[in-house]
């Protein structure tokens, strides 16, 4: 991809001004502070090892080491931090980051991946530099804004690295760090911290109008992940006219889909189906595979909410057929077979899943749910409760899935558990 040509033809919505970090050696000082904290080296140790007097160090530090290039060079050498870069590399990193965010806004994950990989390459070329921070911000943008958001350990790692850079970040990047903390907490289904950070981000987002549509859209997803569907719809409806005004119809499509999903979760299947009908009409002339998959899944879930399991079964079968490995759709099929008392179909699917488990091709947390569903065919409350307690430990990993709501409802109605 030709970066100059892309910059010439693309509408760049954001400029995060990464180049500011490379003025007055700010990038070097920030990286020194990062390595000092991450390696547990205090300032006295740095002064001693580099033969810098405390008074000199303190005077220089008060002025952010401006006019003290000799001290910066000593400390950079101490931590093996590069001070020279290939000409144009800083502007290149800035451009890739701005384009990464632009394609996030447009929902183009393929181009997001390209620009993320380019930033990763720069970080690998200068591993002990401030490009490390830029890379971890880029990873958060790419992971949280794509199906890779399930990689919670990678997201957590990037946040932990960036927390050590926090005191040296520009205000907009401090905002982004808190924004991605919000995203992490919501993906962890941590309702308390999600709510705290959501309120903080909503109030501060007014300072960054170019980011506002993305922030509001993400807030709608954050509330969805903690099962607060009413707030999710609220933020989706707030951002939808902004997206349409920007002619960002791809993101607006996802926004409408999110509203449809939330209405289904609130058992308003009539409203959900109305939105889905419009989405399916749009898909007749537009190829958006991810939206098509989620729209069909939502329709199947609507049928489940209406207890119309017969209509739901062929949709789940179609969705599962197109996926490389068994997953949540198999759990929903098992639930449908249980509710329709099709024990032979249930057992046949369970045998298939058992084979996938033997091949290490089925998430063990999902298999705990399979075993729980198998126990539901009998009336032994003790065994069902035992399997439920095992399966429940994995619910945090996919707590926004329909199957979790169904299991809590089922076991509550059978008076096996009590739900507050």
CA Rg value for the chain? 25
Among the candidates 100, 134, 169, a domain finishes at: 169
Q: How far apart are CA 92 and CA 127, in angstroms?
A: 16
State yes or no: pLDDT of 359 exceeds 90: no
Range of the domain at 401: 325-420
Query: Residue holding tokens 């003790």?
Result: 382
Does residue 110 belong to any structural domain of this protein?
yes
Is residue 371 assigned to a domain?
yes
Boundary residue ending a domain (151, 169, 187): 169
Task: Give the domain-ending residue among 169, 192, 216.
Answer: 169
CA gap 58, 403 in Å, rounded: 59
Which whole number is the average pLDDT over 13-22?
Answer: 89
* 9 part of a folded domain: yes
- Counting the structural domains of the chain, the total is 2
Let me know if residue 265 belongs to a domain.
Answer: no
Note whether residue 261 is domain-resident. Answer: no
Instruction: Kindly report which listed range (42-46, 113-117, 265-269, 320-324) carries the lowest average pLDDT score.
Output: 320-324
The answer to whether residue 320 sits within a structural domain is no
The proportion of the chain whose per-residue pLDDT surpasses 70, expressed as a percent, equals: 95
Cα separation, 165 vs 414, in Å, equals 52
Q: Is the pLDDT of residue 379 over 80?
A: no
Torsion, Cα of 307, 319, 298, 109 (10° steps): 170
Q: Which pLDDT tens digit goes with each residue over 96-127?
A: 999 999 999 888 899 999 999 999 999 999 99
> pTM (2 decimals)?
0.86
Instruction: With respect to residue 257, please indicate whether it lies within any of the assigned structural domains.
Output: no
Query: For residue 120, is it within any domain?
Result: yes
Which residues, in sequence order, are CB contacts of 412 under 8 Å at separation 6+?
418, 419
Region 65-80: what's the mean pLDDT?
85
Q: For the segment 27-66, what is each residue's pLDDT rounded down to a tens digit?
A: 999 999 999 999 999 888 988 888 888 888 888 877 777 7
HEC letters along 342-409: CHHHHHHHHHHHHHHHHCCCCCHHHHHHHHHHHHCCCCCHHHHHHHHHHHHCCHHHHCCCHHHHHHHH
């Amino acid at each position: 991809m030709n970066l100059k040509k892309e910059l010439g033809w693309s509408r760049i919505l954001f400029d995060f001004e990464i180049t500011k970090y490379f003025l007055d050696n700010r990038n070097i000082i920030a990286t020194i502070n990062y390595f000092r904290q991450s390696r547990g080296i205090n300032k006295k140790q740095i002064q001693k090892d580099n033969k810098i007097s405390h008074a000199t160090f303190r005077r220089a530090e008060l002025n952010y080491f401006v006019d003290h290039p000799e001290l910066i060079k000593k400390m950079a050498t101490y931590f093996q931090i590069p001070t020279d870069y290939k000409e144009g590399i800083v502007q290149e990193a800035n451009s890739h980051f701005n384009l990464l965010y632009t394609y996030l806004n447009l929902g183009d994950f393929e181009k997001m991946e390209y620009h993320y990989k380019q930033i990763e390459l720069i970080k690998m070329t200068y591993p002990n530099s401030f490009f490390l921070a830029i890379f971890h911000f880029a990873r958060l943008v790419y992971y949280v804004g794509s199906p890779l958001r399930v990689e919670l350990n990678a997201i957590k790692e990037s946040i932990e690295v960036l927390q050590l850079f926090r005191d040296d970040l520009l205000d907009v990047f401090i905002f982004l760090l808190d924004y991605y903390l919000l995203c992490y907490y919501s993906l962890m289904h941590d309702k308390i911290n999600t709510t705290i950070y959501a309120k903080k981000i909503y109030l501060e987002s007014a300072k960054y109008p170019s980011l506002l549509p993305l922030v509001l859209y993400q807030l709608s997803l954050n509330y969805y992940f903690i099962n607060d569907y009413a707030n999710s719809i609220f933020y989706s409806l707030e951002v939808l006219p902004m997206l349409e005004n920007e002619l960002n119809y791809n993101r607006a499509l996802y926004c409408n889909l999110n509203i449809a999903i939330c209405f289904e979760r609130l058992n308003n299947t009539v409203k959900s189906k109305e939105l889905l009908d419009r989405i399916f009409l749009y898909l007749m002339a537009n190829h958006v595979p991810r939206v098509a998959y989620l729209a069909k899944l939502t329709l199947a879930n609507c049928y489940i909410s209406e207890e119309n399991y017969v209509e739901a079964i062929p949709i789940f079968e179609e969705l599962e057929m197109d996926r490389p490995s068994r997953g949540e759709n198999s759990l929903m099929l098992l639930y449908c077979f249980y509710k329709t008392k099709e024990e032979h179909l249930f057992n046949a699917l369970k045998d298939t899943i058992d084979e996938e488990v033997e091949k290490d091709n089925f998430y063990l947390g999902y298999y705990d749910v399979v075993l729980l569903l198998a126990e539901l065919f009998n009336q032994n409350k003790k065994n069902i409760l035992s399997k439920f307690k095992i399966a429940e430990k994995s619910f945090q990993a996919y707590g926004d899935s329909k199957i979790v709501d169904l299991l809590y409802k089922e076991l509550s109605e059978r008076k096996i558990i009590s739900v507050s």
